Every structure is written in C-alpha cells, then in structure tokens.
C-alpha cells in the first residue's frame, strides 16, 4: 500500500474511511504515515480544548421565558400594517378588472389578433402593477428599519424580516427579467435590493442597536431607499400612461 493521503487520514480519524482496516494495518507498519496521523490527532485533539461557556440547568427555562410571549401568537403587527395587504389587494383588484375587460372584449367578437395584442398588453400592465407593488412594499420595509427608534433593549423586527423573506422570491424573478431584457439599471437596483432583503430576512427577530445600525448602514451605503423610491415612481408613471403611448416608448420595466 502507498502512503496514506491526508484526506484518507482525516476520514480515518472520524471513522468514515472506506478502507479503515487496511489503513489501520498500514499505520502499524509505516512510521511516516503513523507520524503524520499523530500530528493530525494532536491538532484535532487540541481543537477539543476550545471551551464552551457553561449554561446551568435553569438555562432551558430562561430561554423559554425569552420566547414564551412570541410562541403561540402570530406576530402582532403583521396583520395591522396596511401596507402589507393594500398593494396585494390593489393588484388583485386591478388584475380582476383587466381580466374582466379582456373577457368582455372577447365576448363582443374582437378579432383573434386584437385579442392576442390586448392579452400581451394586459400581461405587461399586470406585471408593471406587480413590480410597482413590490417596490412599494420593499420601500416600506427599508423605511421602517431606517426610521426605527433605537432603545435600550433589543428591537423586534420580526415583521420586517418576514416581509423581506416574502419579497425575496419576487425580487429574484424581477431582477432576472430585467437582466434578460437588458435593463441594466433596473437589474442593478434590484440586485442591491436583493442583497439587503437577504440580510434582513436572515437577521434575528430581535436586533441590538449595533445590528440595527449594520442594517441601516447597508441601506445607506447603497443609497437604496432613494433608488427604490425613484424606480418605484418611474414604474408607477409608466403604469399610468395609456397603453399605446407606452408601447411607443418601449417595453422595458
């Protein structure tokens, strides 16, 4: 048997080597490999010396006391923030309205070509409404964190965190769409937004002043609130233009 490689020795140390018996008998015969294995053992055994602060038998009860209030209750602000529901409701209402118009036109006997064009326009319009809503909701999350008051204790950002997590998938989709249509400016803003949403979504439910500052710094460094606000206004403006005019100006987001 050739000398044993480092990877095999690591697997052997953890009892996961495929040829454990062969390695063991090789180590008995080969001094070089034995020395190498001992060196590895020494380091890994030293790692075990890293101490972990002790937690007493009451620790579980203390953890429970910290989370008890939030177990069994939905986050109390989730259903009260109007901005969580209003845009989604608006999108549904507008979507339903546009769909109704389409089916009314189709029933009145418009040509298939006209119906196809209208269908495409309606899809674009619904997408615009959705992107506008998305930016508006993102802006609200960023503004909530940017303006949150600092206190002595920790701040509960579980609603903002949940919102950020909910917004992430849509953001990814819109960013990919913007990239594939060559809209680099929009893609870049959505890319920045995605990074910050991810940070927020992966933050703890309660943050210290330092953690809150870090999040704010991220938002501030990228000028994100301003960019999202400007982009949102542009989308809303485009949304309010008549379809014919919008088509002349191009179909980018």
Contacting residues toward another protein, per CB under 8 A: 6-7, 10-11, 14, 16, 39-40, 42-44, 46-47, 49-53, 55, 59-61, 63-64, 66-68, 70-72, 199, 202-206, 208, 214
Enclosing H/E stretch for 155:
strand 155-156
Name which of 6 and 150 has its Cβ closer to another protein: 6
Name which of 38 and 184 has its Cβ closer to another protein: 38
CB of 188 to another protein, least distance (A): 19
Question: Which residues does 165 contact at the CB level (< 8 Å), separation at least 6?
Answer: 197, 201
Cα 94 from Cα 239, distance rounded (Å):
12
Name which of 70 and 246 has its Cβ closer to another protein: 70
CB of 47 to another protein, least distance (A): 6
User: What are the backbone dihedrals phi and psi of residue 198, each rounded to the nearest 5 degrees, phi first?
Assistant: -65, -40
Cα 239 from Cα 129, distance rounded (Å):
7
CB of 198 to another protein, least distance (A): 9
CB of 61 to another protein, least distance (A): 6
196 burial type by CB count under 10 A (0-12 exposed, 13-18 middle, 19+ buried) = buried
Enclosing H/E stretch for 156:
strand 155-156
In three-state secondary structure terms, 206 is: strand
Name which of 67 and 93 has its Cβ closer to another protein: 67
CB of 19 to another protein, least distance (A): 16
Name which of 120 and 208 has its Cβ closer to another protein: 208
Structure tokens at 93: 């209402």
């Amino acid at each position: 048997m050739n000398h044993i490689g480092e990877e095999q020795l690591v697997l052997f140390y953890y009892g996961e080597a495929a040829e454990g018996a062969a390695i063991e008998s090789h180590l008995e015969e080969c001094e070089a490999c034995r020395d190498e294995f001992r060196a590895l053992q020494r380091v890994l055994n030293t790692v075990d010396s890293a101490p972990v602060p002790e937690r007493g038998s009451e620790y579980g009860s203390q953890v429970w006391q910290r989370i008890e209030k939030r177990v069994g209750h939905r986050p109390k602000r989730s259903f009260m923030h109007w901005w969580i529901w209003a845009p989604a409701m608006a999108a549904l209402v507008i979507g339903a309205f546009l769909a109704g118009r389409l089916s009314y036109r189709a029933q009145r006997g418009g040509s298939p070509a006209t119906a196809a064009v209208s269908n495409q326009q309606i899809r674009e319009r619904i997408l615009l409404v959705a992107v506008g809503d998305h930016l508006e909701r993102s802006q609200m999350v960023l503004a909530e964190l940017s303006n949150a008051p600092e206190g002595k204790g920790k701040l509960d950002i579980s609603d903002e965190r949940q919102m950020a997590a909910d917004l992430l998938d849509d953001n990814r989709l819109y960013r990919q769409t913007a990239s594939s249509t060559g809209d680099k400016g929009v893609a870049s803003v959505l890319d920045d937004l995605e990074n910050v949403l991810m940070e927020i979504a992966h933050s703890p439910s309660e943050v210290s002043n330092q953690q809150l500052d870090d999040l704010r710094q991220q938002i501030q460094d990228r000028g994100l609130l301003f960019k999202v606000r400007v982009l949102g206004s542009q989308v809303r403006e485009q949304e309010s233009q008549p379809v014919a005019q919008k088509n002349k100006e191009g179909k980018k987001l």
